[in-house]
């Protein structure tokens, strides 16, 4: 059975996932004590089936994990209706389509600023550290109202917390996640108190004031929402952009299309980036009642994982599924999730990549990547630590 901690699987999971799809149904993983759903039909069903829930199990001892626990139990990601319905309704009143679209001028300006900085570096730069990462971090930080001087804190906190989403996080990762959760929550709580006393035009202020049918966000819910928005607001952008760029560069014909006409292909390219090498690979849910999926009985209390990256390579759904095609029009990928747990950061990620991808190639039409990108040694959240590049 597949070992998600194996270096070969982490570096290139897709041949191993293709073997899982041959079963044509969910598969029991004895070591992890859960089912795997590798096919598009079943992985999509896992995300949508109302007999499955995103049930957070508190870490113990509570005295050590208290903050980490409420950052999850009081967030949209790890709750189910009716709590999920209430939280999402309140959050979406503030983090809505109009607010996201209003960020466009800021994203354009930040993109140009980063491109100017890359020019100043003299030709060699890191696609992740100098471009893919700072843009979404700066955007979500500005949206929430974080001081520019503190932006450097956010990505390390986020990366420490999301290491807990891996299959078997190490003791070191667990300790790092606890520290990051405590520091992040304390920081956001301080900002929340400041904004309540002195409101400004930012998302923390609005979240503190938002109300619907007499309902408001509690202190823990507001803090958990801000932490989730930071994570969801940049992880998909950073990793989706990096994964897609490396994959496109490895396919010369796709890279040539981006160099030749980035505006024409950017919309379909960013969707193909997310499909071809999904930034999120592993999403777990738990049966709240007995159900059947593709002939497999799943009992109440048993867990099943939607293997998003595998689903996005399903040959039954995608023509030439193992080939990157940035011109792909029919692209029903589930890289951003589906159903009530569709990523709330997806519209922002699409807006950011829809601007930053073509602008990068327009500024540097002879852009090339070096042959030694450094992949993060994680399976669930798939991405690169560094992607060396040159502008000509």
pLDDT, position 39: 98
* Domains within the chain, CATH numbers bracketed: 50-277+339-390 (1.10.630.10)
Q: Mean pLDDT, to the nearest integer, of 31-44?
A: 97
* Band of pLDDT at residue 289, cut at 50, 70 and 90: very high
Q: 203 near 229, Cβ under 8 Å? A: yes
> Residue 356 and residue 107: Cα distance in Å, rounded?
8
Q: Mean pLDDT, to the nearest integer, of 59-66?
A: 93
pLDDT, position 211: 67
Would the pLDDT of 66 be above 80?
A: yes
261-271 per-position pLDDT tens digit: 999 999 999 99
For the chain, state the CA radius of gyration.
21
pLDDT, position 1: 86
Long-range contacts from 119-123, C-beta under 8 angstroms, 24+ separation: 119/363, 119/391, 123/390, 123/391, 123/392
Prior bond of 82 cis (ω within 30°): yes
What tokens appear for 204 in the block?
A: 């923390």
Rounded mean pLDDT of the chain? Answer: 92
> Residue 39 and residue 308: Cα distance in Å, rounded?
9
* DSSP assignment letter at 351: H
Neighbours of 102 (CB within 10 A): 11
The C-alpha angle with vertex 384 and arms to 106 and 162, in degrees rounded to 5, equals: 80
Would the pLDDT of 99 be above 70?
A: yes
pLDDT, position 212: 65
Would the pLDDT of 232 be above 80?
A: no
Would the pLDDT of 219 be above 70?
A: yes
What tokens appear for 275 in the block?
A: 């499909």
127-167 per-position pLDDT tens digit: 999 999 999 999 988 888 888 899 888 889 988 998 888 88
| Neighbouring-strand partners of residue 388 | 126
Q: 4 near 281, Cβ under 8 Å? A: no
* Band of pLDDT at residue 182, cut at 50, 70 and 90: very high
369-382 per-position pLDDT tens digit: 998 899 999 999 99
């Amino acid at each position: 059975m597949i070992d998600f901690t194996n270096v070969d699987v982490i570096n290139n999971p897709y041949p191993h996932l293709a073997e899982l799809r041959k079963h044509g149904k969910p598969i029991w993983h004895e070591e992890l004590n859960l089912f795997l759903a590798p096919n598009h039909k079943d992985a999509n069903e896992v995300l949508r089936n109302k007999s499955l829930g995103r049930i957070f199990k508190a870490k113990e001892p509570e005295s050590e994990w208290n903050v980490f626990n409420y950052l999850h139990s009081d967030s949209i990601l790890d709750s189910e209706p009716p709590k999920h319905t209430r939280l999402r309704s309140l959050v979406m009143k503030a983090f809505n389509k109009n607010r996201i679209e209003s960020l466009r001028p800021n994203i354009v300006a930040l993109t140009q600023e980063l491109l100017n900085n890359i020019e100043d570096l003299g030709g060699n730069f890191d696609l992740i550290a100098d471009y893919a990462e700072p843009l979404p971090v700066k955007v979500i930080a500005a949206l929430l109202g974080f001081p520019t001087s503190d932006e450097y804190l956010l990505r390390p906190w986020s990366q420490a917390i999301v290491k807990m989403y891996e299959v078997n996080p190490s003791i070191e990762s667990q300790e790092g996640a606890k520290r990051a959760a405590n520091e992040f929550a304390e920081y956001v709580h301080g900002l929340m108190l400041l904004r309540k006393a002195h409101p400004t035009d930012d998302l923390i202020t609005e979240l503190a004031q938002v109300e619907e049918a007499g309902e408001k966000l509690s202190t823990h819910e507001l803090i958990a929402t801000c932490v989730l928005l930071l994570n969801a607001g940049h992880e998909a952008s950073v990793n989706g952009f990096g994964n897609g760029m490396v994959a496109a560069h490895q396919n010369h014909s796709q890279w040539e299309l981006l160099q030749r006409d980035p505006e024409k292909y950017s919309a379909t390219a960013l969707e193909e980036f997310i499909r071809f090498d999904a930034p999120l690979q592993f999403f777990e849910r738990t049966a709240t009642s007995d159900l059947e999926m593709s002939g497999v009985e799943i009992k109440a209390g048993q867990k099943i994982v939607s293997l998003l990256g595998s689903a996005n390579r399903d040959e039954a759904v995608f023509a030439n599924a193992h080939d990157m095609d940035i011109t792909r029009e029919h692209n029903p990928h589930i890289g951003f999730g589906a159903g009530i747990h569709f990523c709330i950061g997806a519209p922002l990620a699409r807006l950011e990549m829809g601007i930053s991808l073509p602008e990068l190639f327009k500024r540097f039409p002879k852009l090339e990547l070096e042959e030694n990108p450094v992949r993060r040694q994680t399976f669930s959240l798939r991405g690169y630590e560094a992607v060396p590049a040159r502008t000509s």
